[in-house]
Amino acid sequence: MWMAHEPMAFFDGRLMPLKDATINIATHAFNYGTGVFEGLRAYWNQAQQELFIVQPGPHYERLLRSSRVLHIEVPYRVDELVEWTIELLKANHFEEDVYIRPLAYKADPAVKVGLSGIQSAFAMYAIPMGDYVPTGGIRVQVSSWRRIADNMIPSRAKVTGAYVNAALSSEQAKMDGYDEAILLTDEGQVAEASSSNLFMVRRGVLVTPPVTDDILEGITRDLVITLARDHDIVVEERSIDRTELYSADELFLCGTGVQLAAVVEVDRRPVAMGEAGPITRRLQEAYMALVRGDAPRYRRYVVPVYHR
C-alpha cells in the first residue's frame, strides 16, 4: 500500500477510494491511447507544516490545451481543477512529498479509431514520491529511438499513447546500463530526455532547445529559465547538435518528475569534470527553495493546501 489509510482518488466527479476508481477494459483510451495527462508535484515543508502544490494553474492550463488537440471535453475550469486537487490532497492527509496525476480521456467502450462522438471523462489520483531519478548526477545515452515529430503525434501535448516513445528509449538506456535517454529529432537535433527537458551550459551561457524542436513545452523548463535570468545567467533557446553534448561544460534535465537532475556522463563521455557544475547546483538550490515554499520572492508559484 502507498499509505496506511485508504488512498483516495477523484473519479466520476467526486472523491472516492482509489480501488473503486476503475475503468472498463473496452474504454477507448485504454485501447487507443486517446488520453492526455499532467504531472504535478506538491512538497511538504516540515517547518511550516504545509504542503505546497507547484504551479497548479499552468499545469491545468496545459491539460486543457492538450485536451483540445484530442477533442476531449473537460467539464472544469482551471480554478475548479486546482480546488479539486487541494481537496484530494486533504482527503489523503499527505504530510510528505507527493506526485499528482490528472487524466482526461475518451471514456466510451468503443472499438473505433477516431475522436468524434466518443464521451470524455476526467480523473485524478496522487501518490507519495521522492526523487524520481538521482539529482546529484546521472549517466545518459543518446537513444537510437527518435523523438516523435509534432506532425506525427503532437509533442507539445501530453498524450498518453505518445509515451510509448518515452518508454522504449528509457528502457533501452536502462538495459544498456544508463540512467536515462536523450532523444534526437528526426532531423538529428537534440530534443529532450525520455520525459524531461534538457539544458546545457557552454561558456557560461545556459542553452535549451526551442519549443519547435519537438519538445514538450515544459512548465519546469519555463521556471528554470525564469530562475536563471533572475540569477543573471544568460539563457539562449536554440537547436543543439548531438556533439555539443560531448563538449558541454554542464548538462542537466528538468521536469516535474526529475526536478533538476545533473547529467555527469553522456555516451560514456564525462561532462566536464564528471560532476554537477556550479550553475546546475545554483539552480537546483533555488528551485528546491521555491517548491518548498522557502523563497518568499517566488511564493506566487506555489499554492498551500492546509493553511490558506
Query: Closest Cα partner for 271 from 187, 182, 210?
Result: 182
| Residue 123 to residue 93: CA distance in whole angstroms | 19
102 neighbors 115 (Cβ within 8 angstroms): no
User: Is 112 marked active-site?
Assistant: no
Question: For residue 184, what is the DSSP state?
Answer: E
DSSP string spanning 213-274? SS----HHHHHHHHHHHHTT--EEE---BHHHHHT-SEEEEEETTTEEEEEEEETTEESTTT
Question: How many other CB atoms are found less than 10 A from the CB of residue 226?
Answer: 15
Rounded to whole angstroms, how far apart are CA atoms 42 and 261?
18
* Catalytic residue of the set 19, 106, 112, 158: 158
Residues annotated as part of the active site: 158
